[in-house]
Every structure is written in C-alpha cells, then in structure tokens.
Amino acid sequence: MSRFTGRSVLVTGAGTGLGRAIALAFAAEGANVTVAGRTLARLEETVALIEKAGGTAAAHTADITRSDDVRALVAAAVDRFGGLDIAVNNAGVLLGAGPLDEVGEEDWDTVLRTNVTGVFLAMKHQIAYMKEHGGGAIVNVSSNLGAHMRIPNLAAYITSKAAVSALTRAAALDHIQQGVRINAVSPGAAEGPMSLAPGQTEADRAERAKSENPLGRIASAEEVAEAVLYLASPLAGSVVGTDLVIDSGSAA
C-alpha cells in the first residue's frame, strides 16, 4: 500500500525498537520520514535501512526534554520535506525499578521529564505548526502499564505512561477543531530492547509470554507499527482521543 505517499512524518525515539519499526513502516508506504533521537549513529542505521528498502528519510538529533531542541526538530522536518503532516512521539525511558520508597529521585525526575514533559513539548511544537498549515495527525506511544493496568515495582514508569494517556485525550479535545487529530497507542511487551528484563534473552522473553499473556506471545514491532499507521491514516479520520491497547490481552 501507499497510504502516505509524499507525506512528511516525524518519529521520535526512532533509533531502535518500536520507533525504528514505525519509521520503516511509514517509509514503506511512501512517507518521507524524519527520524529523531539522541544517538546519531543509531538514527543513521534507521535511515540506511529505509533507504535500502527504497524509502526516503533523514536523521536529526534532539533531546525531547529541551524545548529548543524540539522546536529545531520540527523546523528541520519542515525544511527537509516541505511540511509536517504526521508526528509519532515514541521516545521514552524506563528507569527506577523497585518499590516506591527505593526509587531514586533522579530516576523519578528523568522518567517524568522524558516520558511526560517530552511528549508535552513535542506536541506543543508539532501542534503549533500543524494548526497553521492545514492540520495533521499525532500519535503518542504510551503503555498498557499506566492507565490500563499496574504491576509492582515500576511506579515511576507507570505514573508517566498514565499521564501520557491522559495528556493525549486532553490535547485531542483542545485541538481537533484546529484540524489536529491526536491519539495514542499503548503497547504491552513487544519486540524491542525495552521489553527484555536484565540478563534476559529473546528466547527467555518468548517463554515467559506463554504464561503471562492470554495470547501466549508478545506483539511484534510490526503489529504495533501497523496500529500507529492506522491511527495516522485517513481511515481513522473520526478517531479522536483514543488510546489503543496492543498487549496480547494482558490488560483485558
């Protein structure tokens, strides 16, 4: 398919994992993709994969916790590809594992600053451009941990992702009348480095999923990417403020 031919798409956290899979999926359907993150080498690997498959992409480093960086990132996408039609805010971190009273204050601040303030700043600058240039679509990557379910020893991450889900809905209501359509996806464990426990192999993760997930497996990165593409596509034109859970039934 070519649902996004000629569209300018920005994906944060695109150097690895789900962000890379999302960028590849958009490029495969004709989009011009700006891939963003903090590590240039990883972003260049994503660009190389896209170009090898015949797509078009450009890398831009940015720290989403810094407003000036995000403003420059949006400007770079606009300058490189003539506009900004779609943004996917995927960048995030998972730190501070353990009981709440043992969570370090620095870890807490880093998680909230990256996962919540980073999404706020990204949307702030993306919306500012889109509402003045015919609208657009934004998809935030939240998590099934947060608004949908909780587990022990991840209070900082769970708090941050619950906030992303709520922030998505609030922003969707604020800006749909300006032509900016905002939604979220909330993956559970999915292919990628963030779903691997310390010392765990992919085979270990697959075995664990057989007993933990009703479906008996984790989602593929491509399955999550396809959900993002749907929410960004014209077929989802009436989908506003949705938080789509993709977690093999874990939060059902």
Confidence bin at 99 (pLDDT 50/70/90) = very high
Confidence bin at 203 (pLDDT 50/70/90) = confident
Q: Tell me: the pLDDT tens digits for 20-56?
A: 999 999 999 999 999 999 999 999 999 999 999 999 9
Residue 44: which residues within 8 A CB-CB, separation 6 or more?
59
Residue 194 counted as domain residue: no
Tell me whether residue 2 is exposed, middle or buried, using C-beta atoms within 10 angstroms of its C-beta: 0 to 12, 13 to 18, 19 or more. exposed
Residue 252 counted as domain residue: no
| Structure confidence at residue 167 (pLDDT) | 98
| Structure confidence at residue 211 (pLDDT) | 78
Residue 145 counted as domain residue: yes
| Structure confidence at residue 85 (pLDDT) | 98
Structure tokens at 68: 């000036």
Whole-number mean pLDDT of the chain?
95
Q: Please report where in the chains the tokens 């958009």 appear, as a residue.
A: 26
Confidence bin at 192 (pLDDT 50/70/90) = low
**Domain CATH code at residue 58:** 3.40.50.720
- Single-letter residue type at 186: S
Judged by DSSP in three states, 240 sits in coil
Query: d(Cα 26, Cα 8) in Å, to the nearest integer?
Result: 10
CB 28 within 8 A of CB 53: yes
**Host domain of residue 161:** 8-189+220-245
CB 15 within 8 A of CB 43: yes
Which residues are known catalytic residues? 157
Query: d(Cα 236, Cα 82) in Å, to the nearest integer?
Result: 24
Residue 150 counted as domain residue: yes
Count the alpha carbons within 13 Å of 92 in the hemisphere toward its beta carbon: 30
Residue 113 counted as domain residue: yes
Helix 118-130 × helix 67-81 angle, to 10°: 40
CB 102 within 8 A of CB 30: no
Confidence bin at 196 (pLDDT 50/70/90) = low
Residue 67: which residues within 8 A CB-CB, separation 6 or more?
121, 124, 125
Q: Tell me: the pLDDT tens digits for 103-160?
A: 999 999 999 999 999 999 999 999 999 999 999 999 999 999 999 999 999 999 999 9
Number of independent structural domains in the chain: 1
Residue 32 counted as domain residue: yes
